Structure 1
Amino acid sequence: MARLFTEQFAFSAGDSVAVIGLGRFGSSVAQSLVRLGHDVMGIDKDADLVQRWSNILTCAIQADSTDVNVMRQLGVADFSHAIVGIGTDMSSSLMTLMALTELGIKDIWVKAFTAEHGQIAQRIGAHHVVYPEADMGARVAHLITGRMIDFIEFDDGFAIARIHAPASTHNKSLLASRVRENYGVTVVGIKRTNEEFEHATATTLIQPGDLLVVSGPTSKIERFAGSTEKR
C-alpha cells in the first residue's frame, strides 16, 4: 500500500516531508520516503510508535499535531510537504490539516477513509486526498482477475498497467493491430522473457506471451486487457 501511495508523489530528490501519524499506513509511507532519499520527520502522539521509528526516520517526535503552536515550534512550517496519515480519527485528521494549512504548507496530502472525510479535507485545504484502502482494493481486484499483472491508477481515472498481450494483438505490428484506434489506449513498451524492455513503435511486432505496458483511461485498459477475440 505504501508503494502505491509513494508512486503518486512528484517530490524532488531530498525534499523534506513531515508525516503525521505513524500507524501502519503512515510509518510505511515514511519508511518508503526515507529509502527514496527524503528527510522525514515523523509525528505521533503515541510514545511507543515514536520510539519504534526514531532510529529509522530522520527524526520522530511525540507531539499533538492538532495544535498549530506546537507544530510551529517543531519547525513543520519549513517542510516542503506534509502527509496526514492519521488512522480512523477524522477529527484529529482534520484538525491537523487545519494546523498545516495555517502554517502555509504548500503541498499537503491527506489519507481519507470515507468520501465525506475526503470532501471535507479538500474544502479545508488539502492539495491531495488519497483513499489507500479503496485504491488497494481496486488494485487487488484487477490482479485477481488475471487480466493485469500490475496496475497504477491516478486521480483523474488515468492508469498505467502491465498486462498479458491480448489475443487480438498476437503476431501483428502495433500499426496493424490498431490498438489505439480500437481500444483508446497506448502501448508504451513490450517485455519478452529473457529480453530487454523495448519501447513500442508502430512497427513493433507483438507475439503471444509478450507483456505490454499500456496507458490510458482505466475503463479502456480493462476492456483491452480482457479482449480475447481477434479483429
Structure 2
Amino acid sequence: MKKKQIDDDAVLVVGLGRFGTAIASTLDGLGREVLAIERDPVLVQQWSHRFRIIEGDATSADALEQAGAREFGVAVVGIGSSLEASVLATANLADLGMKQIWAKATSRSHGRILRRIGAHHVVYPEYDAGARVAHMVSGKMLDYIEMEDGFSIIKMRPPRDIQGFTMAESKVRERFGVTIIGVKAPGQPFEYATEETKIGPEDVIIVSGDSALLEEFANR
C-alpha cells in the first residue's frame, strides 16, 4: 500500500471552541489548507460553509486515522473545556507521528502534561491575553507582544524626549537599551527605522527589547 504524502503546510484543527474557530478561520483566510474535526454536530453545521470540517471525536485514534490526520504537517488542539479530551487528542496525534503539535492549555499544570505527552508548542490564550491587557492598562503601550526569554515587542507613542530628533540623534539603544524597529506617521505607511528617521509627536513607534526595559521606556 502506497504511503500518503504529508503536506507540511496543511493544518488539522481539533475542536471548534473560540480558540479553534479563530485559528481555522484565520488560516483559511490566509489560503492555508485547513481541516477541522469537531464532535458537536451543531458546530459542524455552523462552520461547514467556511472551511473543511468533519464530525468526529479526536479522543479516538481511529477517528483521527479516518480523518486523514497523517497527511497533515501541523495539528492544533483547541480543546479547553475538557482536560481529558485535550490530553487524549494530543496523545493520539503524537502517536501518529505528527510533525508539529500546537495545543491550548488552561493552566501551567495542563501545559506540562501536554508537553510530556508530545505537544511541541503549548499556548495559554487566556493568560497571554490577560498579560497583554495588563501591560497596556498599566502604562502608555498601545499593544504588547511577549515573545520568550524576557523579550517583547510593543507599539507606543514616542516619549517626549525623543520627539523631533532622528534616530542617530536620540541614541535610543545606547541610552535605554531598547530598539526602535519602525515608525508610522499619521496617514503614512509603516517604515523601518533608519539612522535618518525623525520621530514626530504624533507617530506610532514599534520597539523591541527586554520586557523590563521596555516598561521603563514606555513609562518615561
TM-score where L is the length of structure 2: 0.91
Q: Say if 2:20 is the partner of 1:20.
A: no
Match of 2:48 among 43, 46, 54: 54
Aligned-partner Cα distance in 2 for 1:96–1:148: 38
Corresponding position of 2:135: 142
One-letter amino acid of the counterpart of residue 36, structure 2: G
Provide Cα deviations, 1:115-144, integer angstroms capped at 9, x if missing partner: 001111111111111000011112222333
Aligned-partner Cα distance in 2 for 1:214–1:170: 15
Corresponding position of 1:103: 96
One-letter amino acid of the counterpart of residue 23, structure 2: V
Provide Cα deviations, 1:46-99, integer angstroms capped at 9, x if missing partner: 111111111111x21111101112211211011011000002211110111100
SS state at 2:53 partner? strand
TM-score where L is the length of structure 1: 0.86
Corresponding position of 2:23: 29
Q: Say if 2:108 is the partner of 1:123.
A: no
Aligned-partner Cα distance in 2 for 1:195–1:32: 26
One-letter amino acid of the counterpart of residue 41, structure 1: L
Percentage of matched positions with identical amino acids:
45
Gaps of 5+ in 2: 1-6
Residue 146 of structure 1, CA deviation: 5.2
Aligned-partner Cα distance in 2 for 1:19–1:104: 16
- Residue 20 of structure 1 contacts residue 65 of structure 1 at CA under 8 Å; is this kept in 2? yes
- Residue 157 of structure 2 contacts residue 202 of structure 2 at CA under 8 Å; is this kept in 1? yes
One-letter amino acid of the counterpart of residue 159, structure 1: S
Q: Say if 2:213 is the partner of 1:220.
A: yes
Aligned-partner Cα distance in 2 for 1:194–1:17: 37
Corresponding position of 1:188: 181
Aligned-partner Cα distance in 1 for 2:135–2:30: 27
Corresponding position of 1:88: 81
Gaps of 5+ in 1: 1-12
* Range 70-79 or range 190-199, more displaced: 190-199
Residue 224 of structure 1, CA deviation: 1.1
Residue 14 of structure 1, CA deviation: 8.9
Corresponding position of 1:176: 169
Corresponding position of 1:200: 193
Provide Cα deviations, 1:137-173, integer angstroms capped at 9, x if missing partner: 1222233345111222223332222110012312222
One-letter amino acid of the counterpart of residue 39, structure 1: E
Aligned-partner Cα distance in 1 for 2:18–2:188: 38
Q: How many residues align?
A: 214
Provide Cα deviations, 1:152-201, integer angstroms capped at 9, x if missing partner: 22233322221100123122222232211222211111111123333211
- Residue 45 of structure 1 contacts residue 62 of structure 1 at CA under 8 Å; is this kept in 2? yes
Corresponding position of 2:56: 63
Corresponding position of 2:36: 42
